[in-house]
Structure 1
């Protein structure tokens, strides 16, 4: 096996970084009583190494330390300088959850032994495909010369480096009120909305979703629907047009229409209530059951 290592010039020169699956993916799975999880080697359909290299990966994977439940790890294997100043990092993506996961576009850092940032790039990790439960997937990450903060020829370490997820500290998700609401809503109702937002799990990072608060039909036949627009992104969002459908307790679509919002803004990491009024001409049923209901943009039915 040692001769094989020399032949392929592949020994494990990097260290491991580990994050909570809840912190990275907002995923937390109840697992058994085991304190440690051994990850089994798995190859993505998008990366099928030669058989000789598979033996090396098998050996290296057996040498990895176990993970704790609900962890995602990047285990650095090899750092190789390419042409035109690029650097390719070989690492295992490890999943200790008892369920498969699917990573998306994520920023990764190449970090030196003393914590210094050597490189940064955003990788579309959906290319890896599904990462099975309790598995370890070898993958290649390329940092181009423009991604590096140091000179590739003279300043890249031989050992002790790490590949790490760049985690942004998630600000507390808070209630935001439009000025007209802040001025007119009774303090008791404001307190109830604040309590509601504080008691809910924040949207996943980057997610925007809609939660129904109140629906009622007025005497003139119009349908008033109050929604909580929840922005889990770290950026403010502007809504110009919003199509909505409303479904009553029978499962029927009872109203549908589009709303012009005139640069309606929902700030980063906030939930903002708003009332949408469907005129009677857009209400599709005479008798509706609002004991339970839901409203959503047609493309976000869940």
Structure 2
């Protein structure tokens, strides 16, 4: 059954639910290279070959797809379109399955959760999404999901603000190395292999922990201090860092450099470690001659 589209005051259809996106690597163990420095992905509408509908419904889906926010590369999302109560205790949810990868994907059996605006769980079900067919690269496919009374935990269904989300299993993958594109392109293969081996041989961070490990510190001839750190994400979610206040101590436990660094959408994926070099210009270096036979660098806690 195709959805009934609620209308805005201007007569256009409206989205009733919200967006819920996950990493394609976490969900499918699939990634693809972004186009150049692509930061946003807009998805084209794609219908299942066996779906038939009126021109009016096609227009409604097209309009709502254009209303969806842009995705980031390597994401799979569910974007809530409509919710209908078929009969007491059951409902049909229509949502876009959205694929921001540069390649076709096929989903399989997965667990979905139905959430309200405050992320309270209203329902849960396991569904085989292979029936949705192949989802083309950078596309949105509308699909219907039916929850019965055993899969719903409430009879009080929200009209708006809800969302359908993938329930990811706790990661069983080994903690692994993640390299920024600039590092992938500039680092020699032997150096990549050494980093990968080191990360895999280290004890991983505790679940949910994010920490910093020093790799290399070097003072240049102009006095600037270059510090390379391994940012280690032990959680099952990707994290994005925007501001990092760092302090460096030398072998005598004396502060030799301190400063804040602004990062542009710096993402460390779930259960990975990502190296990055922070450059302290001479004005942030507090000693002229630094003993770096041993050292440590760490983020300053906000007061």
TM-score when scaled to structure 2?
Answer: 0.53
Partner of 1:168: 169
User: Kindly tell me: are residues 104 and 35 of structure 1, through their superposed partners in 2, closer, same or farther at Cα, counting changes over 3 Å?
Assistant: same
Partner of 1:292: none
CA contact (8 A) 1:77 1:92 kept: yes
Secondary structure of 1:127's aligned partner: helix
Deviations 1:127-164 (Å, cap 9, x if unpaired)? 0110000000011100011110011xxx2111110000
1:26 equivalent to 2:29? Answer yes
Query: Which stretch of structure 1 is more off in the superposition, 60-69 or 44-53?
Result: 44-53
Q: How many pairs does the alignment contain?
A: 175
CA contact (8 A) 1:22 1:70 kept: yes
Equivalent residue in structure 1 for 2:83, among 79, 83, 93: 79
Query: Which stretch of structure 1 is more off in the superposition, 93-102 or 40-49?
Result: 40-49
Q: CA shift at 1:47, angstroms? A: 2.8
Q: CA shift at 1:171, angstroms? A: 3.0
Partner of 1:147: 151
Partner of 1:108: 112
In the TM superposition, structure 1's runs of 4+ consecutive aligned residues that sit over 4 Å from their partners are: 2-6
Secondary structure of 1:48's aligned partner: coil
Equivalent residue in structure 2 for 1:51, among 50, 55, 66: 55
CA contact (8 A) 1:4 1:56 kept: no
Partner of 2:20: 17
User: Kindly tell me: are residues 23 and 159 of structure 1, through their superposed partners in 2, closer, same or farther at Cα, counting changes over 3 Å?
Assistant: same
Secondary structure of 1:145's aligned partner: coil
User: Kindly tell me: are residues 22 and 42 of structure 1, through their superposed partners in 2, closer, same or farther at Cα, counting changes over 3 Å?
Assistant: same
Secondary structure of 2:106's aligned partner: coil
Secondary structure of 1:147's aligned partner: coil
CA contact (8 A) 2:97 2:142 kept: yes
Deviations 1:213-235 (Å, cap 9, x if unpaired)? xxxxxxxxxxxxxxxxxxxxxxx
Q: CA shift at 1:86, angstroms? A: 1.0
CA contact (8 A) 1:10 1:78 kept: no
Consecutive unaligned residues of structure 2, counting only runs of 5 or more, are: 176-195, 202-303
Consecutive unaligned residues of structure 1, counting only runs of 5 or more, are: 175-194, 201-302
CA contact (8 A) 1:12 1:60 kept: yes
Partner of 2:100: 96
Report 1:95-244 matches (<5 A): 95-151=99-155, 155-173=156-174
CA contact (8 A) 2:43 2:98 kept: yes
Q: CA shift at 1:46, angstroms? A: 3.6
Deviations 1:215-268 (Å, cap 9, x if unpaired)? xxxxxxxxxxxxxxxxxxxxxxxxxxxxxxxxxxxxxxxxxxxxxxxxxxxxxx
Whose helix proportion is higher, 1 or 2? 1
Q: CA shift at 1:78, angstroms? A: 0.5
Secondary structure of 1:90's aligned partner: strand
